[in-house]
Every structure is written in structure tokens, then in C-alpha cells.
Amino acid sequence: MRRFRNLRPSGRLAKETEYHMAESDGLQLNTTRFVKELQPAFENGDLRWAYEILHEAWPVGWLIQLLIEGDAQAKRLAIMSLGLVGDGTAVGPLTRTLHDQDPKVIQLADNSLRCIWCGMGKKQSSQLIKQGNSHLNHGNTEAAIERFSMAIETDPEFAEAYNQRAIAYCLADRFEEAIADYQATLKLEPLHFVAMANLGHCYCNLGDFSCARHYYEQALAINPHLEGVAGAIDMIDRINDAHDKVA
């Protein structure tokens, strides 16, 4: 196992560190050290190495601070790092970076948010989600729904369990049940733009274009780069225009 020297104390040893590292040592010094320590791990694709460095030295609060005050390189590394160790406190700051001017930052933030949502459940429920996704990938939709339901029973506060079961319901054309699960997802994770966009798809399939447009707009307000959503809104507008002309 690799060993690291001169790593900063973890947040569990000094909680103030999580929020005041920049004041104690200087933002630039910490940022330079952070980039030096994390860049090689991510470049080599060694996520275990990156996780160990982050766990021992760089608390979530500091990573969030870099989203606001770091330069482009540090911001990208902070976003990738939050995908590994981030929790619910990182969701809001990460969604704001979805409006960044840097396409790479947007792509990384989208990916990290999805990783955080998937990682917020208990260990057993997360394993059930993985099993469900495996069934889904093999076309075993009903078996996937069963696993996702077990994950929800194990961890009723795990938003991603509802989101994944909703996806499976959609694949089975069970749109009313999918809508209920997407609503449950948003109750637990109000910024879950994937659930919002998929709610729009569900309502489109049910012919409720007003509700579909509402959720599409909400999703784009959070993540303006969602693939296909703007096109879906244009389609709804064309349908509505056609109906108006007939009327």
C-alpha cells in the first residue's frame, strides 16, 4: 500500500480544519498541495489511491470551497474528488457548477452528482441497487424491480433506490408507478435533475404535455445541458401549436 507524508489532519481530528484550512495556511498554498497530491492519482486512474489521500487529508468542506475559489485545474480535481467522497452537503454546490463556462467542469459535475446520489445509501441497499442494475442490463426488468424494492425496504431514505426502480418501471411501461417513485426521489433529493427529466418523459408517454413541460423546465433550470430535454420541450410546443391551429 502506498504511504503518504505531510498529509493534512482529517476532519474527524480537527473539525475546524474542514472550514478554515484556507485561513490557517493560505488558499494558494493549500491549493498547490492539493493539486500536487491528487493530480497523479486521477491521471493514473488510481481511484483507491485518490480516495485514501482525500480521506486522510482533504475534507468535503475544503473541496466545496475549491469549487468557488479554486482555479480551473483545482476546480476540476475538486469535482472529481467529490464524486469519490462527497455527501449531501456537496449536492447544492455541485449543481451550481453545472452552469459553468467550462464544458469539462459541467461533464465532471454531472458525473460526480450521480456518483454521490448512488453512494448515499446503506451498504446493503447499495449492493441491492447494483444487483438490480445487473438484472436491468440483462433485460430482467421484473427481477430488477424486486431488487430495487428490497433496497427501498432496507433504506427508505435512499433516494436513488426510488429513482432506479422508477427507471425499471418506465422500461416496463408502468408509467404511473414510475411517476410515484420519481416523486419520492425528488422529495428526498429535490435537486435530482435526472428524476425531473424522467418525470417529463413519463408524462409525455401518458399524453400529459403540460406536466411534462413543467418537469423538463425544472430539470433544465438545474442542468441546462441535459441531452434531449430541450428537444422534448420543442416537440411539445410544436404539438401544442398544431392543436391550436386545428382548434
- Cβ count near 124 (within 10 Å): 12
- Rounded Cα gap, residues 247 and 236, in angstroms: 16
Looking at residue 229, what is its pLDDT?
95
**Domain locations in the chain?**
15-118, 120-178, 191-247
Q: Which fold has domain 120-178?
A: 1.25.40
The per-residue pLDDT for 212 is 96
pTM of structure: 0.85
**Using one digit for the tens of pLDDT, what is the confidence trace for 66-92?**
998 889 999 999 999 999 999 999 999
pLDDT tens track of the chain, all 247 residues? 333 333 333 443 334 344 444 444 556 778 999 999 999 999 999 999 999 999 998 999 999 999 988 899 999 999 999 999 999 999 999 999 999 999 999 999 999 999 999 999 999 999 999 999 999 999 999 999 999 999 999 999 999 999 999 999 999 999 999 999 999 999 999 999 999 999 999 999 999 999 999 999 999 999 999 989 999 999 999 988 777 666 5
What pLDDT is recorded for position 191? 98
What's the confidence (pLDDT) of residue 246?
65
Q: Give the span between the Cα atoms of 197 and 213, in whole angstroms.
A: 9
Distance CA 163, CA 20 (A): 36
Environment class of residue 238 by beta-carbon count within 10 Å: exposed (0-12), middle (13-18) or buried (19+)? exposed
Predicted pLDDT at 26: 59
pLDDT in tens, 93-129: 999 999 999 999 999 999 999 999 999 999 999 999 9
Asked if 136 and 144 count as a contact pair (C-beta separation under 8 A), the reply is yes
Measured at the CA of 100, the angle between CA 80 and CA 62, to 5 degrees, comes to 45
